[in-house]
Amino acid sequence: MKRIYENADNVIIWLGPGSHETDTLFKMIQRLDKESAEISRRAPIDTWIARWSDLLYEGSRIPAWQLNMLRDALRETLARKWFERIWVIQEAYNAKTATVVCGYSAVRSRTFALMPAAMGIEPLLQQQALLAVMPGPLRWQNRKPESRSLKTLLQRFGDCQASDERDDIFALLGIASDASQDGILQPRYDLPMMTILRSTISYLVLGTVLDKSFQLPEWTFRDLCQRLHHLLEELFKWSLSHCHKLASILTNDNEHSILAFRQHPILRLLNMNKVATPDTALLTLDGVDVNVMYAGYLLLHMAVIVSHAELVRLICKDKRLDRAARDTNLLTALELAVKKNNVTIVKMLLSKHIAGRQLRHWDIRNSLETLLIIAAKQESTDCLELLLQTGAETDSGPGNDGRHSGWLRQWGT
């Protein structure tokens, strides 16, 4: 379909039956288009609008009552079903020239698209987005690739209608400046919507499709559209509670990193170099409250999640640190490090006596696990050995169900 529209000499945009009011509106638009023929198509949009506004209001050549009628007719035209459908975006965007037809009246798209601005009407966001992709000054002067990224198109056209919900995404792939070039996302009608959404979320954030070993949120298409403006941050918050493997990727030093876009003090610290150089200052906690929560996590927990050993070491030196603080999953930083099987950070936290009370059994009333049982569940021989050397108890205590006792005895004294 894309090639058909690209190769057509002129694309007809059919808005439906006409009326006396729409016929009058289109005659007025035809006259404005004819009287502004001398304007270069590359002229600034303001030049076009100023010219048409002068023609409309010059000497009160159109009575006020008729102007109001024309505005109402334009509003009614913009409310037509054409402006709600997802697939029409391709026909408008790929057309070299287009003619807007309503009933028996027709006008050039270049003039029609600017009429709301010339007549002082503010279209709905989706209506304006469709006007902007019609052939004409709006499209000619908005050719930057970022203005056509898949994310931007989803923000503009996420409310369009499609008989198959998968088309909400598929209809945009052919015109997206990124997706149409790299071919990573393809229309696959053999896949369910949830799989397509998973691939789309991954692509929008990382520019690739993650394999199934990465857990991703099970958002609906509406959920995704509502989060697009802060998608990277929303996914990062979600990953902290659900997929630490994904959180680590989102905090890596790359173009897709959340740290390249957000200025939260915790995120700035996580983005700093792990090793100081003559040209790079050491990490500093000046002005940062180490006990402030972000997305349910303390700075120390986030440093553990992304394996930032230098930041962990720095935070441990801060006298303000609440060593027994827990995250939203009721884990201390030490327990989290054991769960992640990060021996280096576990050793560091043990040496700093972080949450020393966790070297004893947890309160059975809260049905929580000891550090040893956490390590046993993760089958982390290195962490188990380190904990045993530190003097942790191997007896699983009254709250243990016995499932890991064999593992614990294997590493006992």
SS3 sequence of 242-279: HCHHHHHHHCCCCCCCHHHCCCCHHHHHHHCCCCCECC
Note whether residue 271 is domain-resident. Answer: no
Do residues 54 and 46 make contact, with C-beta atoms less than 8 angstroms apart?
no
- Residue 105 sits in the same domain as residue 122: yes
* 300 found inside a domain: no
Question: Domain for residue 234, yes or no?
Answer: no
Final residue in a domain of this structure, among 99, 121, 143: 143
Closest alpha carbon to 239 in 206, 271, 261: 206
Is residue 87 domain-shared with residue 186, that is, in the same domain? no
> 32 with 80, same domain?
yes
Q: How far apart are CA 354 and CA 333, in angstroms?
A: 8
pLDDT for 295 equals 64
Q: What is the pLDDT of residue 174?
A: 87
Count the domains in the chain: 3
**Per-residue pLDDT at 259:** 53
Q: Tell me the pLDDT tens digit for each residue of 230-250.
A: 888 788 778 866 787 887 777
Q: Which residues contact 349 (CB under 8 A, 6 or more apart)?
A: 312, 316, 333, 334, 337, 355
Q: Do 6 and 73 belong to one domain?
A: yes
Same domain, 167 and 221: yes
Quote the pLDDT of residue 306.
Answer: 76
- Do 83 and 111 belong to one domain? yes
C-alpha 17/C-alpha 34 separation (Å) is 24
Regions in the chain scoring below 50 on pLDDT: 261-263, 273-282, 354-368, 392-399, 404, 407-408, 411-413
What is the identity of the amino acid at 231? Answer: L
Task: Give the pLDDT score at 327.
Answer: 79
Statement to judge: residues 62 and 139 lie in one domain:
yes
The one-letter code for the residue type at 249 is I
- The answer to whether residues 111 and 161 belong to one domain is no
Domain identity same for 150 and 136: no
Of 229, 247, 270, at which residue does a domain stop? 229
Gyration radius of the chain over CA positions: 30
Question: Model's pTM, two decimal places?
Answer: 0.64
Q: Could you tell me if residue 78 is inside a domain?
A: yes
Residues in the chain: 413
Residue 61 pLDDT: 64
Letter string b/e over residues 259-294, b meaning 16 or more CB atoms within 10 A of that residue's CB: beeeeeebbebbbbeeeeeeeeeebebeebebeeeb
From 169, 199, 229, give the residue that closes a domain: 229
Planar angle of CA 341, 345, 350, nearest 5 degrees: 105
What is the per-residue pLDDT for 143?
A: 66
Residue 307 included in any domain: no
Q: Is the dihedral of CA 339, 341, 346, 348 positive or negative?
A: negative
One domain for residues 152 and 204? yes
In a shared domain, residues 11 and 138: yes
Q: Provide the residue range defining the domain that includes 377.
A: 360-413
126 in the same domain as 31: yes
What is the reported pLDDT for 35?
77
